[in-house]
Amino acid sequence: MHLVSVAIDIVLGVIGLGIVILVHEFGHFFAARAAGVEVEAFSIGWGPRIAGFSRGGTEWRISAFPIGGFCKMKGEEAFRKALEDDASELPREKGSYYGVAPWRRMLISFAGPFANVALAFLVFSLSSTIGYDSPTFPNRIVLLSEYDLGGPRLSEYPADKAGLVSGDRIVAADGKPIADFSDLLEKITLSADKPVHLRIDRDGRPYDKTVTPIMDKSTGGGFIGVSYWADPIVGTVASGSAAQIAGIEPGDRLVSIDGKKVQHAIAAFSILNSAKPERAEFGIERGGKIAEFGVVLNWSTQGKSNLGIGFETQTHRVRAASSLEGAVAAGAAETWSTFQATLIGLESLFRGVNPLKAISGPIRLTYMVGQSASEGIQASASGGLAIPLKFVALLSIGLFIMNLLPIPALDGGQIVMFVVEAARKRALRPITIYRYQFIGATFILAIFVMATVGDLLFFAAR
């Protein structure tokens, strides 16, 4: 059943990732046609042609490998011939890519990334018209320093230095309200190495604390050493899991494990992780009565069990905009905030982040897109649709920024080359263009290999 679920996620991911890339290529297509450049072929997918037809001077193809596609403009063959002949300049064929002015080629290069950011804006605006729910936890925290969840631990976390206490409710950060743990996580993640001023509710009394998140080298995000405080009420029980076999049901309250009191979900995980028992006695409160349930556990080499319990969450509600203008404004605001967050993530790559963990390759991206789509399908019809749509928007903005980096072979690198050509008022030699693009292609290949290795490590640890 798990393999079927993963297969469905991958299929949905291929569709979602393909849409993002296709929109990018359509941006190039329409800009090329507007600039007077002939598009010889437009393919949905890569590899061998499966089917197609010709219309308007363009061959429209469906190709074998269904991720994304490409837009082939007139001039590629002339470029190859110029290289073979060691020509001093490219032939300026009418209707070819290199036959139009540099500023037109700049627009064509920019149009692909622009189409992605336009898609993100439309998706965020659409999500605002729908409204949606997502699961989260309360704004109450637990200090990780007090519990064993496996893996490496710090001698002191920023939350401890700041004087936070397990059970504190974070009600505001830098003056903005914190409604739930999702709000807090977003703020902390985007504030690595930057002081954050917190307003705390501790047993009904307000306190002000300042915490400086450190960077998590595996993600590039900020980290202070806290987790959510979730009451130990069972929300879900996985089919075939140890908990289901033992008779535990949604709605049960977990009060103890092997005689040790359980205050919250993190305490339950800590008790199990520290001992990794093959059998544990769960004290369960059901209908006002407490009974013992024997749970037989298996542990993987990565320290994960087959327990199968998900604790009860609360709903993070994003309400639908009341008007079209409000939806557009919300879409623009979310596009801008996502743009800023993506830049922060990109910056973290130059600050000692582990690239094997922080950079997602095509395998992991496909899986993540598909997983968000699956969650959306399982959710309500309208709100569920917003989940995969928002993930597609996040990918679109990431593609916008990455493609505009001044790296040869990317759109940003192409724009730099055309700016140089315009400034010199003379075309670059074909061999110079080839070498420039070869350097970029080598760099991108290295990143691709590194990201793919990271993807394999990601799935091996699951």
Q: Catalytic amino acids?
A: 25
Relative to beta strand 222-223, strand 226-228 is: unpaired
Distance CA 262, CA 268 (A): 6
- The gap between the terminal CA atoms of the chain, to the nearest Å, is 16
Written as one letter, the residue type at 291 is: A
The two three-digit tokens of residue 231, written as one number:
């009451």
CB 6 within 8 A of CB 13: no
What residue spans of 180-302 are helical by DSSP H? 181-189, 242-246, 265-275
Q: Rounded to the nearest 10 degrees, how much is the dihedral formed by the CA atoms of 248, 250, 253, 258?
A: 30
Distance CA 57, CA 69 (A): 18
The two three-digit tokens of residue 337, written as one number:
């905030």
Q: How many CB atoms lie within 10 A of CB 458?
A: 17
CB 291 within 8 A of CB 284: yes
Nearest to 266 by CA among 178, 167, 198, 134: 167
Q: What DSSP string describes 393-459?
A: HHHHHHHHHHHTSS-TTSHHHHHHHHHHHHHHTSPPPHHHHHHHHHHHHHHHHHHHHHHHHHHHHHH
CB 38 within 8 A of CB 56: no
The two three-digit tokens of residue 357, written as one number:
């963990």
Rg for the chain, CA atoms, rounded = 26
CA angle 225, 227, 229 (to 5 degrees): 145
62: left (phi over 0), alpha (psi -120 to 50) or beta: beta
Distance CA 83, CA 338 (A): 42
